[in-house]
Amino acid sequence: MKRLWAPWRIEYILDKNKSKSCLFCDISSGKINKTKDKINLILFRGEYSFVLMNKYPYNSGHLMVVPYFHTPTFNGLTDDALFEFIKIVKLSVDILKKALNPDGFNLGLNFGKVAGAGMESHMHLHIVPRWAGDTDSMPIIAETRVMPEHLNATFKKLTRIFKSAEKLSNNRTN
């Protein structure tokens, strides 16, 4: 029997308040609250999109960029929303380069369940940092991924850099 230690999953398993509605709409709606954002691993909020860490990552630093507008594809997003979306993707990649020094990235959009979308009703783009040798033999032989850093440690590291980037962006527009 294979065992994988993933302590962050117990919160999801035991959550009695699991919403039947859209996860992304639920966690991004309402009054902005730093405590709520920390619980939901939200790193950055733009006008049209936000960035959060994946609670069940493929690799350390796995982020998702999500538009606030509820749509399964690009349909319905304005030009301004699309432009900001891709700018936030670029910002996220730049921050991950600075914080985690990956050798490359996988970026992905999955439209529809047959395409692999786990959350098919609300589009989101995955950004997965990759390192040479990060797949090593563990996933092949033991069918186990190694996560070298706890989600909370990565969240703290990325939060600092996103805040710095946000301040720089605000200074340019003022």
Sign of the Cα pseudo-torsion (159, 34, 125, 164, in order): negative
85: three-class secondary structure by DSSP: helix
Sorted by where each starts, the structural domains of the chain and their CATH numbers stand as 32-134+142-173 (3.30.428.10)
51: three-class secondary structure by DSSP: strand
Q: What is the dihedral angle through the alpha carbons of 43, 34, 36, 101, rounded to the nearest 10 degrees? A: 20
Judge contact between 65 and 88, C-beta under 8 A.
yes
What pLDDT sits at residue 59?
Answer: 85
The pTM is what?
0.78
Q: Each residue of 8-65: pLDDT tens digit?
A: 566 656 665 555 689 899 998 877 888 899 999 999 999 999 999 998 888 889 999 9
What pLDDT sits at residue 136?
Answer: 52
Q: Each residue of 77-119: pLDDT tens digit?
A: 999 999 999 999 999 999 999 999 999 999 999 998 888 777 8
What pLDDT sits at residue 140?
Answer: 43
Whole-number CA gyration radius for the chain: 17
Judge contact between 166 and 87, C-beta under 8 A.
no
Q: Indicate if 70 belongs to the active site.
A: no
Catalytic residue of the set 62, 122, 124, 126: 124
